[in-house]
Amino acid sequence: MTTIERRIDIAASPEVVFDLVCDLHGYGRWLPSSGDYEGTSEIAPPPVAVGTTYAEHSRRGVRHGVVIALARPDVVAFRQPMALRPRLAGTIDSTVSMSIAATAMGARVTRTVELGIPARLRLVRSLIVGRYAKESERMLRALKAYAER
């Protein structure tokens, strides 16, 4: 397993930030698509709760996600294994947790990604980890920009 951890301070209440992160149906309002994230779809009907399922499609594969932890306003976690294209490449197992802590200025968000990368991808492992790290940073910057507007 490889762990990627990124943090950002946001000038908004932990409750506001938590609600944005948990509103899977509303990601399109604040998180633009990218090469590694084309949007969240196939979301189970609201409200979002432990067990809610969704899909995230990209050129590289499909993440089939499920909410595995939810404790307002402190933490939400998702398990989202990504079936790669081509299928022979295997599946990247990932768990993403978003921890939100109150600060004097608002909220500190910590995004932790745990990756299980198939052995057959060892030659491109650093590239995969770099892409996941870059996407975490992009997501946190977009969350901050939207929450602070």
pLDDT of residue 59: 87
Residue 12 lies in domain: 2-147
Q: What tokens does 38 get? A: 């084309």
Taking alpha carbons only, the member of 138, 15, 149, 1 closest to residue 73 is 15
pLDDT of residue 86: 86
Reported pTM = 0.94
> What is residue 6's DSSP assignment?
E
Contacts of 54 (CB under 8 A, 6+ apart): 24, 40, 41, 42, 43, 44, 65, 66
CB 91 within 8 A of CB 82: yes
Instruction: Check which CATH number belongs to the domain holding 141 and give it.
Output: 3.30.530.20
Cis peptide bond prior to 45, omega within 30° of 0: no
> What is residue 117's DSSP assignment?
-
pLDDT of residue 88: 84
Tally of domains within the chain:
1
Cis peptide bond prior to 81, omega within 30° of 0: no
Angle, helix 125-147 to helix 14-22, in steps of 10 degrees: 120
Mean pLDDT in runs of 10 for the chain (149 residues)?
97 98 95 89 94 93 96 97 91 98 98 97 96 97 98
The count of residues in the chain is 149
